Chains A and B, each alone.
Chain A
Amino acid sequence: MPSADTQTQAARIPGRLANTGIGPTFSPIDIGHADYMAVVEPDTAFWSLVRKDSLADVLTNRRFLNAYMEKAEVFAAQMDGLRFGLTPSAVYFNPTERCNLNCKYCYIPADMRAHGEHMSASRLIEALEILEKHFRSVMPEGRLPQIVFHGAEPLLNREAVFAGIEKFDDRMRFGVQTNATLLDDEAISFLTGRGVGIGISLDGRTAEVADRARVNWNGQGVSKKVVAAMKKLRGYPGFNVICTVTAKNLHSLPGIAAYFHENEVPACLLNMVRCTLPGAREIKPDDEEAATWFVKALEKTHELYRKTGRKLVVANFANIILGVVAPTARRLMCDISPCGGGRCFFALAPSGDVFPCSEFVGLPDFKGGNLFADQIPDILKSPAFAKVTGRKVEDIEPCKRCAVRHFCGSPCPAEAVEMNGGMDRPGAFCRFYERQVRYALRLIAEGRHDDFLWDGWDADAETVFDLRSI
């Protein structure tokens, strides 16, 4: 117990008393662990795990408070840089508005996907030239901008896409996100031969589940083709699979994870469906149920890792762990506020129109300008972009009071506006994120968190804080 002297001494130093005045706010959180609770300082995303039988002692211990205070400015500066100091280095490039599928949850309006335009090869190359010139002027030497061909379905405009990759191969890092229905041997050879990242989409291990939401315009499922592509990509390191989680496949998640592992998928995203458009909201899973099955799927990946020594990284969850143990090492920029839209990346439509993120491509109010008519720096400063880049958890109820606000970020702004009525509203899966963060903290308490991260994730990271005793 601290002595009266210690308390008096602490009281003389501004900000040196916890939970009052300008001192740090330490919020104890039940993480569902038998022995540990988390103690979080929300503003700096500081966390600690404290033995339940010592919580009162730790919270009144000067060494604990001082250890935090010595690093508080560093933590705050890291979070400030991460949240407000970055500039875009990636573009989600839609080379066509069209798609050969009509998935129930797609965030791109159906009319656009059915009748939209392709970008010509010459226009696509002109766009890459403009982007390359811009990034060369703002990015550090040696770092390449990342261009991800996205959709709609980018391989419907394959000639133009491949012409662009061919021409800029040595100056940009490329990725393609595809529904895999057009990913034939020739395309796989072209892409893998150039080290292009490939993401494909599969929502189930059986056609019966996988084809519930992902169908063509005739209502027929396409999973057979996707599975064939997945098997051909086996062993390719730059490959991942997105599984969109809805009420229609939620209970299959552990089986899906096992299937991806069996097919040696190195990384996957088990994404809760984005509820930007009404069709997606109809198949939104319940938050609590989603968290339960999501954790079951993660535990399945862990069981398989222990059994085989091979990891299937669930990247969206790995990112939550990183947000806790190494905030600046995040790869995904959805679960930080402001999100990455318009400040780490932006999206380009076939017309040249620029949006903060692919999620906004169907929402004209979020058009920041046109790549062929406007300067990129002006687009990034546009009012349309500011709506997204200015959205932060401190302005959102209940996020402003939430201790895990910087481990979650209240994604996604498109959902906040379209589903919940404004940028100052939370995203679609608040309770799911609460559970996810608690589970991540529990894994750290159990010493298992590294098993869920890809090997070598911290090769470029340094330890800036380490407290195991007080």
Chain B
Amino acid sequence: MKKAKKPVVIAFRKACKADGTGLSHYILMDKKAR
């Protein structure tokens, strides 16, 4: 089978509300663990 040629361009971007509060000394990856 012929291998598909790779796309000429790959570019995408997602967006959401910015609410990051971590710093390198601590990170809470997700919401409350409970």
A461 close to B10 (CB less than 8 A): no
B18 close to A82 (CB less than 8 A): yes
A460 close to B16 (CB less than 8 A): yes
**Can you name the residue of chain B whose Cβ is closest to the Cβ of A332?**
B22
Contacts of A330 in B (CB 8 A): 18, 20
Closest Cβ–Cβ distance, residue A194 to chain B (whole Å)? 7
A73 lies within 8 A of chain B by Cβ: no
Contacts of A466 in B (CB 8 A): 11-13
A464 lies within 8 A of chain B by Cβ: yes
Closest Cβ–Cβ distance, residue B26 to chain A (whole Å)? 4
A458 close to B22 (CB less than 8 A): no
B29 close to A313 (CB less than 8 A): yes
B23 close to A92 (CB less than 8 A): yes
A58 lies within 8 A of chain B by Cβ: yes
Contacts of B7 in A (CB 8 A): 51, 468-469
B33 close to A333 (CB less than 8 A): no
| Contact status of A326 and B29, CB under 8 A, knowing A58-B8, A344-B20 | no
Tally of chain B residues near chain A (CB < 8 A): 29
Contacts of B25 in A (CB 8 A): 92, 150, 177, 242, 358-359
Per-residue contact bits, chain B 4-34, to A (CB 8 Å; 1 contact, 0 not): 0011111111111111111111111111111
B18 close to A334 (CB less than 8 A): no
Contacts of B8 in A (CB 8 A): 50-51, 54, 57-58, 469-470
A236 close to B15 (CB less than 8 A): no
A195 close to B32 (CB less than 8 A): yes
Counting chain A residues whose Cβ lies within 8 A of the other chain, the interface size class is 35 or more
**Can you name the residue of chain B whose Cβ is closest to the Cβ of A460?**
B16
B26 close to A150 (CB less than 8 A): yes
CA distance A46 to B9 in the complex (A): 13
Tell me if A's interface is mostly helix, strand, loop or mixed: mixed
Contacts of B32 in A (CB 8 A): 173, 195, 197, 238
Closest Cβ–Cβ distance, residue A226 to chain B (whole Å)? 16
Contacts of B21 in A (CB 8 A): 89-90, 146, 331, 333, 340, 344-345
Contacts of A173 in B (CB 8 A): 28, 31-32
**Of A15-23, A210-218, A263-271, A393-401, the one touching chain B:** A263-271
Contacts of A92 in B (CB 8 A): 23, 25-26
Count A/B pairs, Cβ under 8 Å: 184
B23 close to A177 (CB less than 8 A): no
Contacts of B33 in A (CB 8 A): 192, 195-197, 236-239
| Contact status of A81 and B11, CB under 8 A, knowing A199-B27, A332-B27 | no
Contacts of A249 in B (CB 8 A): none
A332 close to B14 (CB less than 8 A): no
**Can you name the residue of chain B whose Cβ is closest to the Cβ of A326?**
B14
A358 close to B19 (CB less than 8 A): no
Contacts of A269 in B (CB 8 A): 24, 27
Contacts of A454 in B (CB 8 A): 29-30
From 332 to 348 in chain A, residues with beta carbon under 8 angstroms from any chain B beta carbon are 332-334, 339-341, 344-345
A162 lies within 8 A of chain B by Cβ: no
A315 lies within 8 A of chain B by Cβ: yes
**Can you name the residue of chain A whose Cβ is closest to the Cβ of B26?**
A177
A326 close to B15 (CB less than 8 A): yes
A332 close to B24 (CB less than 8 A): yes
Please list 29 pairs of residues, one from A and one from B, whose beta carbons are closer than 8 Å in the complex, sorted by A's number. Answer: A36-B10, A49-B11, A64-B9, A67-B11, A82-B18, A86-B18, A148-B26, A173-B28, A194-B34, A196-B33, A199-B27, A238-B28, A238-B34, A266-B29, A267-B27, A325-B12, A326-B15, A330-B20, A331-B29, A332-B27, A334-B24, A340-B21, A340-B22, A345-B21, A357-B23, A461-B14, A462-B14, A464-B14, A469-B8
**Extra A-B contacts (15), CB below 8 Å, given A325-B13, A329-B20, A465-B13:** A36-B6, A51-B8, A54-B9, A58-B8, A75-B13, A240-B27, A326-B15, A328-B18, A330-B20, A331-B28, A331-B29, A340-B23, A341-B23, A344-B21, A461-B15
Interface residues of chain A, those whose CB is within 8 Å of chain B, are 35-36, 46-51, 54, 57-58, 64, 67, 71, 75, 78, 81-82, 86, 89-90, 92, 143, 146, 148, 150, 173, 175, 177, 192, 194-197, 199, 236-240, 242, 266-267, 269, 271, 274, 313, 315-316, 319, 325-334, 339-341, 344-345, 357-359, 411-412, 444-445, 454, 458, 460-470
